[in-house]
Amino acid sequence: MPEWLLPVIAPFVVLNAIIGIVTYVTLLERKFAARMQSRIGPYRVGPHGLLQPIADAIKLMMKEDIVPTAADRPVYNLAPIVFLAPCMFIFATIPFAPGLGVADLNIGILFFLAISAMEIVGLFMAGWGSNNKYALLSAMRAVNQVISYDLPFIFSALTPVLLAGSLRLSDIAMAQEGLWFVFYPVLGQLAFVLFIVSTVAAENRAPFDILEAESELVAGFRVEYSGMKFALIQLGEYAHILGASFLGALLFLGAWSGPGPEWLGPVWFLIKAMCVFLLVTWVRWSFVRIRVDQILALSWKALLPMTLLLLLATAFVVVWRHSGVA
């Protein structure tokens, strides 16, 4: 295979794999949620409802594409793409096994966090472009929430960075060969809990789903979208959650390390990411929505100081251990 072909093939494979996984992650969530509520969940399409996501995708593609007359057309039409692009970009830096990834940047985690924060641009484009009261309200809430929760999300993700001493994602994964960071005494567990909480919030899921809020805002910023555009937004949202799950598995659960031969690494990684995803889903289906001001207060008054303190404590421990060794 010629050298120049690799940068073309690798993103293509990753992109398609991600779309495939995202499609089935929706089924996983629906099944999981159904079990939590003593239901069966999707069952009719295919054995055990296994073909349900495909039926959903076909249905969404066949649907009529409606554009509201009062919409800001260019913004409205561009929004799903602007929303989806960063959600897909975040997978570029994730190494799925040693040396197996699209781009193992030396600032990998920073790139991941920066790109994932870009999601908000597409979100408020959708909210504004729809020219709908509910959509705009939802976009404003999203802006509020993103400003508040990006910082704790970043700070909690930085704890493993400090422990590993590198911003490169593969280095962070390698640093956990002996001990997964989630098992690092005290610091690891605290950081993991804070990471999960801020992930749930940063992904705008219940109990932090004020911008979706079915009971007050109908469906929030995507209320005017239908058909393929709706599918794109949905795809982006799940891709983003999946990306955060992979990040969580990589930062805290030792990425691809696991028993068995080396080629099983990506499988272990996927299983761990799914565990993080189910954890987030579990939180989603267990709690009721919190009020807007409570959510913001939780971030600024509790999560932010806690993550900052944790970061400081981690820095102290790292410096102390290094000086002890040297």
Partner 1 sequence: MTGEALGFYCLSAVLVGSALAVVLTKNLFHAVLWLALALTGTAGIFLLLDAEFLAAVQLLLYAGGIVTVVVFAIVVTERLVGERISQTSRHIASGAAVSIVLAGLVVKAIMAGPLTSIRTPMTGDVTALIGETVLTRFVLPFELLALVMLAGLMGAIYFARPED
Give contact residues for partner 1 (rule: CB under 8 A): 72, 75, 105-107, 110-111, 113-115, 117-118, 120-121, 124-125, 128, 136, 140, 143-144, 146-147, 150, 167
Nearer to partner 1, 166 or 245 (CB): 166
φ/ψ of 136, rounded to 5, equals -65, -45
Nearer to partner 1, 34 or 105 (CB): 105
Whole-number minimum distance, CB 230 to partner 1, in Å? 21
Q: Is the peptide bond before 11 cis (omega within 30 degrees of 0)?
A: no
Nearer to partner 1, 52 or 314 (CB): 314
Cα distance between residue 117 and residue 87, in whole Å: 9
HSE value, Cβ hemisphere, 13 Å, CA-based, for 108: 25
Cα distance between residue 91 and residue 113, in whole Å: 11
Whole-number minimum distance, CB 190 to partner 1, in Å? 24
Nearer to partner 1, 107 or 283 (CB): 107
Nearer to partner 1, 150 or 212 (CB): 150
Transcribe 60-99 into DSSP letters: HHHS-----TTS-HHHHHHHHHHHHHHHHHGGGG--SBTT
Whole-number minimum distance, CB 82 to partner 1, in Å? 9
Nearer to partner 1, 5 or 62 (CB): 5
Nearest to 258 by CA among 176, 181, 172: 176
Whole-number minimum distance, CB 143 to partner 1, in Å? 5
Residue 271, classed as helix, strand or coil, is helix
Cα distance between residue 279 and residue 41, in whole Å: 19
Cα distance between residue 308 and residue 304, in whole Å: 6
Asked if residues 194 and 152 have their Cβ atoms less than 8 Å apart, the reply is yes
Residue 100, classed as helix, strand or coil, is strand
- How many residues are given for the chain? 326
Nearer to partner 1, 51 or 107 (CB): 107
Whole-number minimum distance, CB 128 to partner 1, in Å? 6
Burial class (CB in 10 A: 0-12, 13-18, 19+), 16: exposed
* CA gyration radius, the chain: 20
Asked if residues 246 and 239 have their Cβ atoms less than 8 Å apart, the reply is no
Nearer to partner 1, 122 or 254 (CB): 122
Encoded tokens for 290:
């919190």
